[in-house]
Amino acid sequence: MKKFFYLSIFSAMLLACTSPSEVSSPDGSLTVSFELTADGSIGYSVSRDEQKVIEFSPLGLLTEQQELIRGFQIKGTKKKHHSSVWQTVWGEEKYIHDNHNSMVVSLEHETHILMDIEFRVFDDGFAFRYIFPEQSQQSFTITDELTSYRFTQGAEAWSIPWRTEYYEGLWSKRRVSTGRCANRDSECDEVLRGDNQALCTADTMCSPITLEFADGTYGFVHEAALYDYPAQNLYVRDGALRTYLTPWLTGQSVSALKTEGCEVKAYINTPFSTPWRMVILTNTLRELVASRIMLNLNEPCRLEDTSWLRPMKFMGIWWGMHIKTMTWEQGPKHGATTENMERYLRFAKEHGIQAVLAEGWNKGWEDWRHFEFSVPYDDWDMDYLSRLADCLGVEIVGHNETGGNAADYENDLDSIYSYHSSHGIHVIKTGYVSPVIRTSDGLQWNKGQSGVRHYRKVIETAAKYRIAIDNHEPVMPTGLQRTYPNLMTQEGVRGQEWNAWSADGGSPCEHVTVLPYTRILAGPVDYTPGVFKFENPVIPTTRVHSTLMNQLGLFVCFYSPLQMACDLPEHYLEHADAFRFIESVPCDWERSLLVDGKIGDFCVFARQGRDSENWYIGGITDEEQRMVDVPLTMLEQGRRYMLTLYRDADNADWQTSPYEYVIESTEVTSVDTLHVSMARGGGFAATLEIQ
């Protein structure tokens, strides 16, 4: 009887929908329709070029107070068009066009709770969010979000599991069955009851995911403007992608996480807006990479003065610890000593590197429990080194590893940042190495609401002291760098250090050819490219799976306004001619474009230096050797450029001959095409300087 009852409701939903409220993209190609069913349930659908790409997908929230999934009526609808061009403080482009149409549907629940849903539709995708205006009920406890995406065709999704520590996993491709479900009454039963709580399964994915649809088009599902809410995760159930919010941990251990039943996801106070739920839909990979929807969904810059923010390359006392020739803690092989730091600072000055990172300079590394962020080890003279750095015109990048103790770090932020600022340190790399972090709310997921609040507090406090943040073990980026451009880069990736010590031997060549289309679409990445010595005699079973030219290509293919050349100075001197590319390549851009690529196979990027006429091109490939053609149509017509090409030699190979390369120069124009061969695990880099 119960099953028949829900089936009847679902049939009524399909037959008795009111006329949908619609909003289309500025070019008219994409249309989002909000639909209210006969029983007041809410959902949406999406069409592209009059073909349905997302069929009716339920929306709604569950709270401890009410089930906000049915019983709504529309109180009003407002639409408007927006078109503007804004300038980035730093970025992959100097100017970004925000062109969209929006629709706000104002709803009233049968319990008199007010909730709006705002849609924004761009030519290359759409987004929506839930908004709670001021009202008599001032607080809600969110226990679930029923946002879903029922794509009409099957797809392959590139993703990592939702509980991948620090997001440091290998992205893999899995088939996801989307489209109309064979048992719609069962799905309706679940949706109407909000019964999607038992989701902590092996196939639950982190947001974002990148979709390759059966017809050859692409999608990217993520969120934007994550401020005071848990990060979303995604799973497939009955042919639809559904949302699983990162829960609060209710005990003092990971085992306290419930896998069934009611979980608290968020505590909110009205007025309140959730993060944007964002879907990019493009015909080509080039269009997918070029989309700036996520940045446009974030608020404009809140910093009154951004003149002190400086995109730059930096080196660091870092790689030596990973290859076990140095230690973080004080001792015979201590890396962060005054003498060693002075050597790095002088090398950076000589080679045009703007800053030097030092890890392990402060007390607390012996047990990773009690870090002192203003107390150096005895062999580190902060006063002398800060004066030397100022004299040389090279900055020091500070490092604050918390060991996951976010609560104590947050309590001392003002004194910590005041100390660093007084020593001329205006970039800090933060770290949270712990499966869960200890916030003021106890042990919590770093991407739960409490962790998200902590990271925002760090960014806002750092801005007061003119300090930029390079956040490691972060929550996945969602475009906050537009609002707080002192959040300059983040880790959240299986980075280079895994190639020094990973038990699986290091990341496969394919790994770096997946990231530009997945993790890096979410925001800048501190992957730390630039290894010039691939073998590690201390751990001989692990090595970097690339050629030297591949490492150069990463500086163009991987975007970060703080870009680290991670290897030791002596290794760079062994290939000084190749190191010249790292010396010359900028990390702030006027224009950027994907020239060619395929997810998991290869990519070729071209970028124009900011406020410059010069261009830089980089390419990387997977385990397969391949030839790529690079038309130089991006160059100014009628002008001549000096091309300096750094490429794999004919006999190069990541396993047998990774250091074989050729550097050659010639004049080119916009009518020319580069034909470049990349070795297995190889790549190339090029500078094009206008003559």
pLDDT digits (tens, 9 = 90+) for 288-340: 999 999 999 999 999 999 999 999 999 999 999 999 999 999 999 999 999 99
Confidence of residue 9 (pLDDT cuts 50, 70, 90): very low
* CATH number of the domain residue 356 falls in: 3.20.20.70
In a domain, 463, yes or no: yes
How far apart are the C-alpha atoms of 161 and 182, rounded to whole Å? 26
Cβ neighbours for 85, distance < 8 A, ≥ 6 positions apart: 95, 96, 97, 98
How far apart are the C-alpha atoms of 430 and 412, rounded to whole Å? 14
For residue 4, give the H/E element and its range.
Answer: helix 2-15
How far apart are the C-alpha atoms of 279 and 316, rounded to whole Å? 38
Confidence of residue 250 (pLDDT cuts 50, 70, 90): confident
Residues linked to residue 490 through DSSP beta bridges, in sequence order:
471, 525
Which of 583, 603, 624 is at the close of a domain? 583
The average pLDDT across 99-128 equals 98
For 335-375, the pLDDT digits (tens) are: 999 999 999 999 999 999 999 999 999 999 999 888 999 99
> Cis before residue 208, ω within 30 degrees of 0?
yes
Confidence of residue 180 (pLDDT cuts 50, 70, 90): very low
In a domain, 280, yes or no: yes
Residue located via tokens 């949270």: 432
Q: Are residues 22 and 157 in the same domain?
A: yes
Question: For residues 386 and 425, is the Cβ–Cβ distance under 8 A?
Answer: yes
For 652-684, the pLDDT digits (tens) are: 999 999 999 999 999 999 999 999 999 999 999
The structure tokens listed for 435 are 């499966």
How far apart are the C-alpha atoms of 289 and 597, rounded to whole Å? 11
Q: Are residues 269 and 372 in the same domain?
A: no
Exposure string of 638-670, with b = 16+ CB inside 10 Å and e = fewer, is eeebebbbbbbbeebbbeeebebbeeeeeebee
For 452-504, the pLDDT digits (tens) are: 999 999 999 999 999 999 999 999 999 999 999 999 999 999 999 999 999 99
Confidence of residue 139 (pLDDT cuts 50, 70, 90): very high
Q: Is 611 left (phi over 0), alpha (psi -120 to 50) or beta?
A: left
Q: Is 638 left (phi over 0), alpha (psi -120 to 50) or beta?
A: left
Residue located via tokens 């409490």: 450
Whether the pLDDT of residue 256 is over 90: the answer is no
User: Structural domain of residue 494, as residue ranges?
Assistant: 315-583
Which of 230, 264, 297 is at the close of a domain? 297
* CATH number of the domain residue 253 falls in: 2.70.98.10
- Overall domain count for the chain: 2
Per DSSP, the residues of 155-202 read: EEEEE-BTT-GGG-S--EEEEE--SS-TTHHHHHHHHHHT------ST
pLDDT of residue 141: 97
pLDDT of residue 202: 62
Global pTM reads 0.93
Whether the pLDDT of residue 261 is over 80: the answer is no
For 550-602, the pLDDT digits (tens) are: 999 999 999 999 999 999 999 999 999 999 999 999 999 999 999 999 999 99
Q: Are residues 265 and 374 in the same domain?
A: no
pLDDT of residue 185: 37
For 73-99, the pLDDT digits (tens) are: 999 999 999 999 999 999 999 999 999
In a domain, 528, yes or no: yes
In a domain, 143, yes or no: yes
Whether the pLDDT of residue 629 is over 50: the answer is yes
In a domain, 109, yes or no: yes
Q: Is 387 left (phi over 0), alpha (psi -120 to 50) or beta?
A: alpha
The average pLDDT across 210-221 equals 97
Which of 553, 583, 613 is at the close of a domain? 583
In a domain, 591, yes or no: no
In a domain, 566, yes or no: yes
How far apart are the C-alpha atoms of 683 and 628, rounded to whole Å? 10
Q: Are residues 148 and 278 in the same domain?
A: yes
